[in-house]
Amino acid sequence: LGTGTSTNGASGSIAMSTGAATSGAGGAITLTVGDGDTGAGGAMNLTAGKSVTGGALRMTAGQGTGGSGGHIVMTSGEGTTASGAVSISSGEASGVTGEMIVATGSGANASGAMTLGTGTSTNGASGSIAMSTGAATSGAGGAITLTVGDGDTGAGGAMNLTAGKSVTGGALRMTAGQGTGGSGGHIVMTSGEGTTASGAVSISSGEASGVTGEMIVATGSGANASGAMTLGTGTST
């Protein structure tokens, strides 16, 4: 199924659609590759056109005129040894690559939740999650920012970082960046400002049925001098 080549203008379009329905559901469109029993299964490719500006590729679920809108479901193939990977990335460019935006839509009552996670494993370790920005040459590495949105009623949304539970609990580490030609990065922990009182800062080792963990507060060793330590309360005006 195709249109002819044009030597002076746009080539023809292909439109595939089912008819509108009254007092019933609109017809579905199904594209299916047939099963095989040797080698790899047949591929299905959706490729937008090449031009001065590349053509867009859009997938839009149906509007719900009296309820929920339609879902978009992308699932890799099942397998006997491993399921297929899902890879979504912007294309390469000689200038700036395209943005990657993953977000739920705005809503009048509440916006939708977003869940990022790996699957459960019944016989072995579960998958890891790695979040990183790319390395930079002749420039700064990109920042990673995790921010809870502002609210105007009740308590602000919490941010929780919790290491894993196991025979030995997982460690939680915060390490600032190395300075290859100057000072290393700072670690700053500040409680929230408030109109009546600022928030408390509490650092403690966990409870234990045996011996609790040590609390070590120290500056690092240095070739010329170690850093100073200051412990004090704030100024009152």
- Averaged confidence pLDDT in the chain: 91
Contacts 24+ apart (CB under 8 A), 34-40: none
Q: Is 108 helix (H, G, I), strand (E, B) or coil?
A: coil
pLDDT per residue over 61-92, tens digit each? Answer: 999 989 999 999 999 999 999 999 999 999 98
d(CA 211, CA 175): 26
Give the C-alpha distances (Å, rounded to integers) separating 233 from 122, 187, 230, 236: 51, 19, 10, 9
pTM: 0.77
Taking every pair of Cα atoms in the chain, the longest distance, rounded to a whole number of angstroms, is 83
State the DSSP H helix or E strand holding residue 41, giving kind and residue range, or none if neither.
none
pLDDT tens profile 99-144? 998 999 898 888 899 899 999 999 999 999 999 998 989 889 899 9
Q: Which letter does DSSP use for residue 235 in this model?
A: -
